[in-house]
Chain A
Amino acid sequence: KQEVTQIPAALSVPEGENLVLNCSFTDSAIYNLQWFRQDPGKGLTSLLLIQSSQREQTSGRLNASLDKSSGRSTLYIAASQPGDSATYLCAVKDGGYNKLIFGAGTRLAVHP
């Protein structure tokens, strides 16, 4: 059974820092991995999607990497801003199964 773990569960940093959020999964046979952002009381917004054949994806200040063999993905946030404060979730899509398995998320607070 696929399990997804995110470390740390919570993170508080001053503005301007570069951040790394971690996501690990137990079964490397994935179809893709997706990173989401969730603001309090809101739905999930897709940030980046990495196909199993890809190593990384970039969007603005965000960079996500994927290492299938080790069962890990990282989300790198450059020059963090208070507006980045949110919960970040990763999810893997099992190869052969049409569904995503989510981690519990990392709650990020960026203070001025």
Chain B
Amino acid sequence: NAGVTQTPKFQVLKTGQSMTLQCAQDMNHNSMYWYRQDPGMGLRLIYYSASEGTTDKGEVPNGYNVSRLNKREFSLRLESAAPSQTSVYFCAGQGTMTNTGELFFGEGSRLTVL
């Protein structure tokens, strides 16, 4: 039982390059989230998926796209990376409204855009 797994853990991109951050969970969560964390700003929600096949924008969705491929996987794509997207990205999973709603996080993906 690995929980929430993110890949890659580290990535360096040049401006304009594209890449996809992968997230997989084995905890049977319905909801999954992508956050970014920047110094002094806490975590900000990029996109979330309340269930398989649905996605919604969070606070800072510009420059990102997501795919909820199945219940286990939720990927985040940067089509044309910009230096402002240098950040630490966290994926999280959460149960249904009928249980506690506790959120479980991956270890993070550290992205640098030059």
Contact = CB atoms under 8 A, between A and B. Distances in A.
Among B33, B35, B45, B101, the one with the most A-chain Cβ atoms within 10 Å of its Cβ is: B101
Contact of B90 (A41, A43, A49): A43
A43 B108 CA distance: 6
A49 B104 CA distance: 12
B111 interface: no
Given A49-B101, A49-B102, A44 B90 contact: yes
Q: Chain B: interface residue count, which band?
A: 20 to 34
Given A44-B90, A49-B101, A99 B107 contact: no
Interface of B: 31, 33, 35, 40-45, 48, 50, 58, 90, 92, 94, 100-108
A102 B59 CA distance: 11
A68 interface: no
Contacts, number: 55
A93 B101 contact: yes
Contacts of A45: 105
A100 interface: yes
A100 B94 CA distance: 10
A102 B43 contact: yes
A62 to B, nearest CB: 15
A85 B37 CA distance: 19
Given A43-B90, A99-B33, A105-B42, A91 B107 contact: no
Interface string A15-56: 000000000000000011010100001111110010100000
21 contacts: A32-B101, A41-B108, A42-B107, A43-B106, A44-B103, A44-B105, A45-B105, A46-B104, A49-B101, A51-B100, A89-B42, A91-B103, A93-B101, A98-B48, A100-B33, A100-B45, A101-B45, A102-B44, A103-B42, A104-B40, A105-B42
A49 B58 CA distance: 22
A31 B90 contact: no
A32 B108 CA distance: 24
A98 B60 CA distance: 16
A46 to B, nearest CB: 5
A4 B31 CA distance: 22
